[in-house]
Amino acid sequence: MPEYVDGFVVVVPANRIADYTKMSKQAAKVWMEYGALDYRENVSDDLEVDFGKTFTKLTKRQDGEVVVFAWITYKSKAQRNAVNKKVMADPRIAAMCNPESSPFDPKRMSYGGFKTIVKV
């Protein structure tokens, strides 16, 4: 069965990770209610690796910040578009989208849609 994934990377001040986690749990609930198959958010733990471009360099992470690597899985791109349309119209999500109270800087968020090519 083909799948489609929205992936994103966010830089969060370490002292705001509890706020970010609370917001993420609320967002996950909304996405899953509207049909997402899976919703995952993961906080950095080991970024100082010797291979490739590290997430620290890629995100320009500063001291006192952590990186969140996340994805939401859907049945297809069409289903993703339908789910996201409903999610973005949901007042619970609108309340989270205030940049002044956000626990992260939305301008430093990277986001994109991806076709699944390997699933084991």
For every residue of the chain, DSSP letters joined together read: ---EEEEEEEEEEGGGHHHHHHHHHHHHHHHHHTT-SEEEEEE-S----SSSS-HHHHHTPPTTEEEEEEEEEES-HHHHHHHHHHHHH-HHHHHH--TTT-SS-GGG-EEEEEE-----
pTM: 0.91
Q: pLDDT tens across 36-73, in order?
A: 999 999 999 999 888 889 999 999 999 999 999 999 99
Q: pLDDT tens across 70-93, in order?
A: 999 999 999 999 999 999 999 999
Domains of the chain: 4-115 (3.30.70.100)
Report which of residues 119 and 34 the model is more confident about: 34
